[in-house]
């Protein structure tokens, strides 16, 4: 999608790459390394909103390497296995995306209401 003549024409007019955003990359399960998701999601044109504790851990003992595209054959095999077990990853992804957008919208609305209330107090 982000290569070839069509993309080059768009880029020449100022189009920019869409970058995946990795969020909530702190490890929630103590059985896993505290830098698991940061170590595993390093790749070109990505953004990671690393929580402060995870950033400290990564600076202390994280792995700086382009890991996102490693072991792709294994990843594709795992995705195929998920589908073989009847799990509809597309449906799950759409649901999580809708829930995430709703959550961010709610937070934004709360922020805007708070700003409006503060403005009213100041006036």
Ranges of each domain in the chain: 18-70, 86-123
**Among 19, 20, 18, 23, which Cα is nearest to 49's?**
23
Is 108 or 2 the better-scoring residue by pLDDT?
108
Q: Is the per-residue pLDDT at 24 higher than 90?
A: no
Q: What is the mean pLDDT of the chain?
A: 94
Q: What separation in angstroms does the CA of 82 have from each of 23, 76, 87, 92, 98? A: 23, 10, 6, 12, 21
Contact, 64 vs 42, CB < 8 A? yes
- Furthest-apart CA atoms within the chain: distance in Å: 61
Return the residue matching tokens 């995946």: 20
pLDDT tens column, 65-103: 999 999 999 999 999 999 999 999 999 999 999 999 999
d(CA 95, CA 72): 25
Contact, 40 vs 66, CB < 8 A? no
d(CA 50, CA 69): 20
Q: Is the per-residue pLDDT at 12 higher than 90?
A: yes
Give 111-114's long-range contacts (Cβ < 8 A, gap of 24+).
Answer: none
Q: Is the per-residue pLDDT at 39 higher than 90?
A: yes
- Calculate mean pLDDT across residues 95-123: 95
């Amino acid at each position: 999608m982000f290569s070839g003549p069509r993309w080059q024409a768009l880029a020449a007019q100022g189009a920019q790459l869409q970058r995946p955003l990795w969020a909530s990359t702190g490890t929630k399960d103590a059985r896993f390394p505290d830098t698991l998701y940061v170590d595993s999601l390093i790749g070109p044109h990505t953004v990671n909103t690393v929580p402060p504790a995870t950033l400290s851990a990564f600076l202390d003992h994280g792995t700086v390497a382009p890991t996102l595209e490693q072991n792709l054959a294994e990843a594709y095999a795992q995705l195929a296995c998920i589908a073989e077990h009847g799990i509809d990853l597309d449906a799950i992804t759409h649901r999580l995306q809708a829930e995430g957008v709703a959550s961010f919208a709610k937070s934004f609305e709360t922020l805007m209401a708070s700003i409006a209330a503060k403005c009213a107090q100041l006036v």
